[in-house]
């Protein structure tokens, strides 16, 4: 998974569909929420972070965000979580 992944702000999305046509990996699809058509991301794990969808969205409703850090591998090879690191 890329260091950054796209994320849509559903409250801003106008449902224009430009991000859908921009994504070569076809990670977006239309969905209806509260009687409003919006774009939603599917299979976010496959996002390459290329930014094409961000460039195509005229209203800034899709942005790249740092991917969540679920776990870290410290030098002795032990896998731990960021919260474990803070407790040490």
User: Residues 27, 19, 48, CA angle at the centre, nearest 5°?
Assistant: 45
x/- mask, ligand SF4, residues 27-46, rule CB under 6 A, reads x-----------x-------
The DSSP symbol for 40 reads E
CB of 34 to ligand SF4, least distance (A): 15
The whole-angstrom separation of Cα 68 and Cα 83 is 13
Binding to ligand SF4 in span 45-74, by CB under 6 A: 47-53, 56-57, 59, 61-62
Count of residues in contact with ligand SF4, rule CB under 6 A: 26
User: Exposed, middle or buried, 85 (CB in 10 Å: 0-12/13-18/19+)?
Assistant: exposed
- In the complex, which residues of this chain contact ligand SF4 (CB under 6 A)? 6, 8, 13-19, 22-23, 25, 27, 39, 47-53, 56-57, 59, 61-62
């Amino acid at each position: 998974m890329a260091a950054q992944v796209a994320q849509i702000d559903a409250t801003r999305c106008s449902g224009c569909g430009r991000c859908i046509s921009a994504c070569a990996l076809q990670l977006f699809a239309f969905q209806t929420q509260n009687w409003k058509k919006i774009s939603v991301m599917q299979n976010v794990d496959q996002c390459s972070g290329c930014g094409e969808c961000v460039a195509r969205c005229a209203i800034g409703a899709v942005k790249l965000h740092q991917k969540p850090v679920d776990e870290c591998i410290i030098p002795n090879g032990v896998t731990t979580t960021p919260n474990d690191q803070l407790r040490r």
